[in-house]
Structures are given as C-alpha cells and as structure tokens.
Structure 1
C-alpha cells in the first residue's frame, strides 16, 4: 500500500474523489476516513484521530488528503508520515467561505489551511521549477490555470478536476449524450462499468421509487415542447448555496402566473434553512421533486428531465453539480462571479437576481428555445479521460528528498 488516502469528511464530493482514486489505484492504496458529519469538529480534531488510527508502515510513499484535515498537525504528531510526499486537495477556501450570520468569523479553519500548505522559500522555488508556477509578488500562481486559484498553487486541482463544496454531487457519474453534448465517454468521472454499460441511457431506464413518471415518454412525447419549463436546483441545502435568492426568483415567477416545474435536489443536513419549507408550501403543484436522491441513476434521470439548471452559490471552486447537469442536457444559469466565468461562456451568466428572473421569465414563455439549444461551452477537459493520467502521474511519482 504505497499511497495513503485520508479523508476527514467522507461524504459528497469528498467521497466521490476518494472512491475514484481507490478505483484507479486499486491494490496500491489504503483509505482511512471519518463520517461526513459535524464538519467543524472534524476540521479541529481529525489530525489527532488519524494519528492514533493510521498504523505505521514502511510501504507508504505518498499521503493524499483533503484540506479538512490539518496536515501540519498530523505530520507533527506522526513524524513518519511527515517524511512522505504529500498531496493536499482543496475543496473550498475557508478564508473566503461565507458566514451564515453577521458575526465574527472563526479563523481557525482558514488558519488550518494556511498551515497545511505553507512552505519555506527553498520548497517554493522547487515547486516553481517542478509544476510550472510563477511568482506574483508574495503569491504563486499556476501557469495556464484559471485565476480562481489565488491562494496557492497547491489549490490548482480544486478547479482542474471537478470537486466543490463539502457535500454536493452524487457518487459516480454516468450521463447520456443529449442534443449535441459530448459523448458519454467524456463524462467528468470514470464510467463504472460494473454498474452501467457504455450504451446505457439513464433517461430510458425503468422508473424507480423516487420518480413515478416515465421519462422516456416525457422526453419523446408529442407534447414535450409544450410542457412547462422544468428548473433544477441540485445543490446542498445550506446557506453558502444561497437558496434564498433562488426561491425568491421562483416565487416571483409564481406571482406572475408563469408556468414552470421545479426539482429541488441535493443533500440536507441537521440545520435546514427555513426558506425550504416556506417555499415548498407556496410552490405547491409546481414541485416535481423535492429532496435528496440517494440513487445516482434517479439523480441523473431527474437532471435529464430538466431544461434549466440554476446556481445561486456565494462560494464555489468548481460546481460539479452544474457540469453534471450540463452533461444531462440542461441549460446552465450561473452567477457572473466566482469560478463560473472560467467554465461557462458569457451567455450562461447573470449578474443580479433581476437578470436571473428575466432570463427565466423568457424561458417560461418559450421553453422550446431552451430545449432546442445546443450548449456552447467546452467541458471535455474535466473528464477523467483528460485528467486521469495527471492524477496517476501525481500519485506514482517517486518521493524526493527536496519535496
């Protein structure tokens, strides 16, 4: 077991990435995890837990972990692990993570991240030579990578791969080719051939318990173009995804008597913003689906049904749920901020909630314009076919004394 994988919050996109790496590395890795609960507690104490539970081994060469773990603490507590080559994957930036209430920010979590990737001058110089970063004042930026990675060159994989947030996407991915989108062979994750064949189409499979309608009939029926616009919101039910803005726009559409359907997907945790229960009552019959779909097949069938996918996020390194929805044929509407302008063409961006409302208002009146639309962006670079070799190279490199 030459690669030691550690995940202190093993759920959502964190679990998705670790599962993919396990599949890729097979017998050459070992994984240690903590459940995806009480994130703040995990960020404070995970190093102590893994110090006690990860057994010593002379076979470890590389340590791969997400930034929930305070890597500096772990390597101080376990000097044997400190000698390994270390890869730290940032799913989010805790220095810029939105606070839920107007109160003083707890800087411990951002401080943990700074300690975990801080390096002395000689190692930064080596990093510049090895992976191609250039110095800009006191900061380092990866050459050729988007500007969202402004904190550290070590954060580059948070955008060049596909993870975002603490719990966003369903594990695994298989989508159908839909109206001119890339082939399923270029989906942004490895196809799980043990579960789904390459020719399978999630929009044409039999319905399961969560979806009681025949999707293949809906997508091919004679009145498909006349059906109300179907809007999807596939994000965590938490404040950083800004559900308030999303539902305010939908309620305004409702007030205008504009026809639409909505599927509110994504995972909920202990504290659910009040806006969800309030909006569900008002939206009433406009709701097609409400809540988390544990089956990835059901999840992607729901996305295949939708016409438009919306993000109202206030913090995003990538937005895997948005890209998944695009692969399922959805028209994306994202804030003209954060990472989105680096991924989506200007046509799919909005600057204010008013602009989002106007776009959806027009789509509600003419849903056929969305259904006939061919996505104009490029997403092939996010596929495992494009990124797999980079991860393999990263995790297969022999350790060096100067790393």
Structure 2
C-alpha cells in the first residue's frame, strides 16, 4: 500500500476518480474518506480528522488528495506524511467560484487551496525552468492561461497541459476532471456520471420510472425521426451551473410554441433553486424526465436518447457530464468561456443566452440536422483507457528531491 489516497468529500466526481484509482492500483493503495456532506466543514476540518485516522506507515510513498483537503494543515499535523511525494487534484478553483448572494466572500476556502500548493523558492525556480512559468511581481502564472485557472496551473509538469500532469499535451487544453470515459460503444457499461453520488435526492424519487417508459415509447415509435428535439441538462441543481439561464431560454422556446422535449438530470441537494419547481410547472408536457438517476445505465440511456446537451455553467474546470453526453451522441452547446473553448470546437460554443436561444430555435424547427450531425471535436484523450496509464505512471514514480 504505497499510495495513500485521501478524499475529504467522497461523492460525485471526487468519488468517481478515487474509485477508478482504487481499481487501477488495487492492492497498492489505501483510501481514507469523509462523506460528501457539509462541504464547507470538510474543507475546514478534514485535516484534523485525517491526522487522527490515517495510521502511520513506512510503506507510503505518495499522497494523492483532492484540494478540498487543506494539505498544508495535514502535513503540518503529520510530519511523516509531509515527507511523501504529494499530488493535489483540483476539481474547482475556490478563488473564482461564483457566489450565490451579494455578500462578502469567505476567502478561507481559496486560502486553503493557496496554502496547499504554495511552493518554496527553489521549487518555483524548478517550475520556471521546466514549464515556462513566468514571474508577475510576486505571482507565478503560466503563459496563455485564462485568469480563472492560473491558481491551479502550477500543478502541471513539463510534458502536459493538465493539472497534476495527468494527460498528454494537447493544444490549449488545461483541465482537471479527467475521470474515465470509454469509447462510445461501451458507454452504458463503463462510464460514471460526474454529477452523481450514491443516493438519490428524495425529492426526485417520484420520476424514476417516468424516463424509461417515455424513452422506450419514443424509440419504438414509427415517427422516431419526426419527434421533437430532445434537450438534456445533466448538471447539479445548484447556482454555479446557472439553471436560471437555461430555463429562461427553454421558457422562451415554449412561448414561441416551438416543439421540444427536455430531460433535466443531475443531483439535487438540500437547497434547490426555486427556478426548478417554477420551470417544471410551465414546461408541463415538454418534460420527459425530471431528476437524478442513481442507475448509470438509466443515466446514459437518457443521454443516448437526447439530441442536444446544454451547459450554462458559470464555473467549470472540465465538465465531465458534457463530454459524457458527447460520447452518447449529443450535440453540445457550451458557453464560449471557462474551459469549454479548450475542449469543444467553436461551432459548439455560444456567447450570450440570445445566441443559445437562436441555436435551439433552429434545432427545434429542424431536429434532423442535429440527429445527422457527426461531432467534429476530439475526445479520445479523455478516455480512461488513455488516462489510466498516465495515472499509473504518475503514482508509480519514485520521489525525487525536486518534487
């Protein structure tokens, strides 16, 4: 058990990544976790918890953790762990995370992330040498990165364009969530949804059977090609995914009497934005499915039946759900911002909600154009078949003095 895996928020994409690593490393790793609840408390107190629960061992060589953990605190409390090679995986950037209300930001969470990847002068000099980090006053920023991602960019190595050195160089690609994606032929059996956790929200239980019945009927019907455009939104029901913009566009389509169906997937938590209940009432019969699907097969079946997948996110480091939907045959429409221009060709990007509306309006009138479309981007590099070996190589590397 030479690899110590620590996850302070063991749910969703965090759990997905750790599960894949466990499967890949098998007997060579040990995993310690905390449940995916009360995220803010986990960020503040996880180091103290793991300091007490992770036993000392002479076998540990590498510590792999997500940035929910305050790594600086843990290594200060446990000097034995501070001696290990450390890999810190950023699922999000707390310095730029959207605030839900107009109030003073709690900078503790961003500060935790800064402390966790802060490096002494000799290590920054090493980074400057191997990845071209340029000084800007007292700050270090890789050239060409959008401002939102600069804080986590120092985790790259000389041969990659991905945080923590987890994937091969690709022009303009700076991402963090590379959880496993197989070939399209094996999607239902192998993929994991980035927005899911182990249990469904009870508010969504009532619709579980609704999807299977409707989609089976649609698939077997004689007018399969003539059915209305099917739009999917497979994201967490939280403010950073900007459901308000998504539903405003759909309600405008409804006002224009344009035919479409919609499946609103993804997991809901304690606080659900009011727009969800309001939109469901207005959308009425246009809704094919509403709510989280705990079954991976059901989730990917829903994506396979959709024509278009939409993101309206205001904060995104990668967007596993969007890439999964593309594997399932969906036409993606994403903001021309955040990480999306680095993954999706310009054809699939929109700059304003008005542009998104116009694209969907045209698709509603001619859904056959979307169904005949072949995706023009490259997604093979995001498959676990490719990335699994990169993780193995990273976690098998012997510690060096310059790490």
TM-score norm. by structure 2 comes to 0.86
Residue 197 (structure 1) shift = 23
For the 8 Å contact 2:235–2:266, the answer to whether it is kept is yes
Residue 163 (structure 1) shift = 11
Question: Secondary structure of the equivalent of 2:188?
Answer: coil
Residue 382 (structure 1) shift = 1.1
Cα distance change on mapping 1:304 and 1:161 into 2, 3 Å: farther
CA distance in 2, matches of 1:169, 1:206: 45
Deviations 1:359-390 (A, max 9, x none): 11111111111101111111111112222222
Question: Secondary structure of the equivalent of 1:152?
Answer: helix
Cα distance change on mapping 1:230 and 1:173 into 2, 3 Å: farther
CA distance in 1, matches of 2:259, 2:366: 10
Cα distance change on mapping 1:177 and 1:161 into 2, 3 Å: closer
For the 8 Å contact 2:4–2:31, the answer to whether it is kept is yes
Q: Which segment drifts farther, 188-197 or 224-233?
A: 188-197
Cα distance change on mapping 1:115 and 1:199 into 2, 3 Å: closer
Indicate the residue corresponding to 1:178 in structure 2. Answer: 178
Cα distance change on mapping 1:94 and 1:32 into 2, 3 Å: same
Cα distance change on mapping 1:204 and 1:288 into 2, 3 Å: closer
CA distance in 2, matches of 1:170, 1:285: 43
CA distance in 2, matches of 1:321, 1:245: 18
Residue 128 (structure 1) shift = 4.3
Cα distance change on mapping 1:19 and 1:225 into 2, 3 Å: same
Residue 217 (structure 1) shift = 6.6
Deviations 1:117-163 (A, max 9, x none): 00011012234456675666655556898886422434459998999
Cα distance change on mapping 1:391 and 1:157 into 2, 3 Å: farther
RMSD over aligned Cα atoms: 6.8
Cα distance change on mapping 1:194 and 1:46 into 2, 3 Å: closer
For the 8 Å contact 1:229–1:363, the answer to whether it is kept is yes
CA distance in 2, matches of 1:18, 1:357: 38
For the 8 Å contact 1:188–1:384, the answer to whether it is kept is no
Gaps of 5+ in 1: none
Deviations 1:288-326 (A, max 9, x none): 000000000000000001000000000000111000000
When the two structures are aligned, how many residues end up with a matched partner? 403
CA distance in 2, matches of 1:232, 1:294: 17
Question: Secondary structure of the equivalent of 1:149?
Answer: helix
For the 8 Å contact 2:156–2:165, the answer to whether it is kept is no
Cα distance change on mapping 1:7 and 1:203 into 2, 3 Å: closer
Question: Secondary structure of the equivalent of 1:288?
Answer: strand
For the 8 Å contact 2:334–2:350, the answer to whether it is kept is yes
TM-score norm. by structure 1 comes to 0.86
Indicate the residue corresponding to 1:399 in structure 2. Answer: 399
For the 8 Å contact 2:332–2:348, the answer to whether it is kept is yes
